[in-house]
Structure 1
């Protein structure tokens, strides 16, 4: 019997297999595909967000069906696909999902939107580096300093082109077994996770900040859910 397929969908930073270093070993037991979302390239010019293209990329990678594991902004396209094509998505794992459309009226998300909206409104008047520095300051810490590598500059250009995640066309949640993993560091992501848990998703926390899947505990939880797709597996 062929191995079950798992499609990994990255967030706004690193992409492809580089975004999932802890999960590479899963290829020994599952057919793992690490996709690259629209506009992410090491050579091509960054492009604006295209949720439809991202959905198509994930759907093509799934083929006849399989599991989807998505991080941060990648969770938007993953959830949209699971809503529209539940026949393709056997389970959905969302790591620190930036699905802010669902929680836009809740306190932490509303505060985040109020903080970030002026920045996105002014982005056409800012350089890529200026936008990235201000984004990092507002989203993470006033003392945080963005990296200055060539790839970081490409990431900054890409980030400035992307649409705010709270504008994504999300209004309903998928009817497939869903696991939400958060890092317990930021109320914004916990609010999204709690919302999804209220609709039937399983929610757990693991160390690692915005990348809990990089921790031993987070990786173990993801692997357990992929094997069974049940709440009991991540108890």
Structure 2
């Protein structure tokens, strides 16, 4: 039997397989692909982010794999969830399911209280990002979001991570639309009203919503990992039944 594909899309920080440590074992059951978004590379210098380029990366991973099959499940974290939703809108025939972990889909909820407050807090920083150093932007971002200070980046990868953060287009500028007809799970950590507000909005449009411990990375907790695997397994059975 041909394995169904699962495409993992990272958020900020770690990328590729390193962003999904608890989900590595899913490769035993699925054709698991751990993507690198546009501008994320272990060798080349970071570049300005692009929602369109990220979407193209996801759609390419879902394209025909040479075995006569195309499509799969998409699991995306934080800002990676933006491109995941855009891919599902553009090619719903290729997306069997969406799992959105702490999705930074702020353009959907820009008029709601928690999201509007977040945008007011962050907009001045993003407006000045091209005049700031990578380190100053990262410091300002962490202070605003987490109310703490971050150690100065020293290694090459830490410095590249700071640059990638500064080069990210604000999530609230994404041209997002609700995805009709695609089974969707939203997984949040229950720690931040912003993400709970986004989850609530998506729940009202038909998505399932689960909360698991782990802060901004609930996929790293046993409950979060179980929720992801269980949801994809349930949808997979339906996909197999249609194919048989």
TM-score, L = length of structure 1: 0.94
Per mean C-alpha deviation after superposition, the further-off stretch among 157-166 and 177-186 is 157-166
Is 1:175 the equivalent of 2:150?
no
Is the contact between residue 173 and residue 196 of structure 1 (CA under 8 Å) also seen in structure 2? no
Offset, 1:173: 3.2
Q: Deviations over 1:91-134 (max 9, x none)?
A: 00000000000000000000000000000111122110010011
Aligned pair 1:108/2:114, yes or no?
yes
Q: Counterpart of 2:144?
A: 138
1:136–1:146 contact (8 Å) kept in structure 2: no
CA contact (8 A) 2:76 2:84 kept: yes
Task: Write the deviation string for residues 172-200 of structure 1: whole angstroms up to 9, x where unpaired.
Answer: 33420000000000000000000000000
Counterpart residue number, 2:84 = 78
Q: Distance in 1 between matches of 2:61 and 2:5?
A: 9
Q: Which moved more, 1:113-122 or 1:55-64?
A: 55-64
Does 2:162 match 1:156? yes
Partner of 2:67: none
Q: Secondary structure at the match of 1:123?
A: coil
- Give the 3-state SS of the residue equivalent to 2:110 in structure 1: coil
Asked if 1:53 is matched to 2:56, the reply is no
Q: 1:200 aligns with which of 183, 191, 206?
A: 206
Local SS of the residue matching 1:67? strand
Q: Distance in 1 between matches of 2:58 and 2:36?
A: 9
Residues 135 and 152 in structure 2, CA contact (< 8 A), matched pair in contact too:
no
Contact kept? 1:48, 1:162, Cα under 8 Å:
yes
Q: Work out the CA distance in 1 between the residues paired with 2:152 and 2:78.
A: 19
Give the aligned partner of residue 227 of structure 2: 221
Shifted more, 147-156 versus 118-127: the winner is: 147-156
Cα distance in structure 2, aligned partners of 1:58 and 1:207:
27
Cα distance change, pair 146–215 in 1 and its aligned pair in 2 (3 A): farther
Corresponding residue number in structure 1 for 2:36? 36
- 8 A Cα contact 2:86 2:177, kept in partner: no
Deviations 1:12-57 (A, max 9, x none): 1110000000000011111100011111011111111111211111
Q: Which runs of structure 1 show a deviation greater than 6 angstroms over 4 or more consecutive aligned residues?
A: none
Q: Normalization by structure 2: what TM-score? A: 0.91
Distance 1:75 1:30 in 2: 20
SS at match of 1:172: coil
